[in-house]
Amino acid sequence: MTTLVEPCAVAGAESGGWAGAFGCGLRNVRGGLRLMGRDVVLFLQISVGFSLPALAAAVMVHRIPPDAWWRTPLLFTLDATATVVAPVVFMMAVSAAYRGERAPLLRLVVRGLPWLPRYLWTNAHTSVVFWAPVGALLLAHRALEGPAGPAVLLESGWGVAVAVAAVYLHTRTLLAPFLAVHGNVPATRAAYASWVLSHRHFKAAAATFVLGTAPLAVPLLALAYAMAGSKGALLGGTDTLPHATGIGLQLVRLSVIPAVYLLYRQLCDAAPEVLDPLPGPIAALERGTAWLPPLGPMGREDAAPVVPGGSRR
């Protein structure tokens, strides 16, 4: 099979230092945009369609009485649809485009939903890796500086430390959901493999993540900063912000998920090498959760791994 978009040669690109890595990241982003170009309408349907629940939640938070028993379940369902279900559907769409398949939105939703438990369990692993250090920084800031809103935090040196930690940790866990879903790797192993692969290829992974995220994330963060500092004057202020986040995520996913998928395609053949043997603590965690069901369909999401040259083995 000849692929529609070739991923960059990570090893060769990284030999050129950060300049080569950013060139690799830029190529992944451009390749991802070309993938979306295969069916622009489909990706717009996904982005707009999964933004609507988040928009509804942002509106309803001000219209539903605070004491209504159904308020919290409804808002949670709307937010979860935008933030949890959407990524799996995006991943199915990118994978289909990479293989040259034109699939309607409903088929991709049906294809992605069985992978949702695996995706969530993998995210449970990566959330611990991410939030343990980031949460510690936030708690330290609170203990030393006192309670402060997001706007105040962003203006301080603590905000820089949190941002750097967030980018680093997200880069190290970036590949986990792709390994879990597209590679059908169990969650614990997917999280560990992502940590190892992103260590070996940190520059390319960081460049792909930053270049795929920043063009849309930076202006959206600026808007969030304005909302956090507006004391309720801008778009409903802080009450609306958590729910409106789902809309911003759909926009960022348009560029970052296709780019990271291409990075995953370049590195996926190295994954088995880092899965066995697992270190003691990781192996113990996997044994401790062995009672869980597979949390994903049997077999691979993609029929077979793609080697760096673009052919199927």
Give the model confidence (pLDDT) of 271-288 as tens digits: 556 566 788 888 898 888
Question: Between 220 and 85, where is the model more confident?
Answer: 85
How is residue 114 written in tokens? Answer: 């069985």
Residues, the chain: 313
- pLDDT at residue 91, as a whole number: 96
Give the model confidence (pLDDT) of 64-86 as tens digits: 888 889 988 999 999 999 999 99
Domain positions in the chain: 21-276
Instruction: Judge whether 296 and 180 are in contact, CB under 8 Å.
Output: yes
- pLDDT at residue 244, as a whole number: 79
Give the model confidence (pLDDT) of 32-62 as tens digits: 999 999 999 999 999 999 999 999 998 888 8
pLDDT(87) > 70: yes
**Closest C-alpha among 264, 251, 171 to residue 209:** 171
Mean pLDDT (whole number) for 260-271: 81
Among residues of the chain, what percentage have pLDDT more than 90? 47
- pLDDT at residue 15, as a whole number: 66
Mean pLDDT (whole number) for 84-102: 94
pLDDT(1) > 50: no
| Residue-averaged pLDDT of the chain | 82
pTM to 2 decimal places:
0.86
Residues 6+ apart with CB under 8 A from 122: 176, 177, 180, 187, 190, 191
Mean pLDDT (whole number) for 141-154: 71
Per-residue buried b or exposed e for 155-180, using 16+ beta carbons within 10 Å of the residue's own CB: eeebbeebeeeeeebbbbbbbbbbbb
Name the least confident of 17-21, 65-69, 101-105, 272-276. 272-276
3-state secondary structure of 164: helix
Calpha distance 283→275 (Å, rounded): 10
How is residue 100 written in tokens? Answer: 């040259």
- State the pLDDT confidence band at 151, using cuts at 50, 70 and 90: low
Calpha distance 213→229 (Å, rounded): 23
Question: Between 171 and 146, where is the model more confident?
Answer: 171
Name the least confident of 126-135, 142-151, 202-211. 142-151
- pLDDT at residue 280, as a whole number: 86
- pLDDT at residue 6, as a whole number: 53
Calpha distance 249→207 (Å, rounded): 19
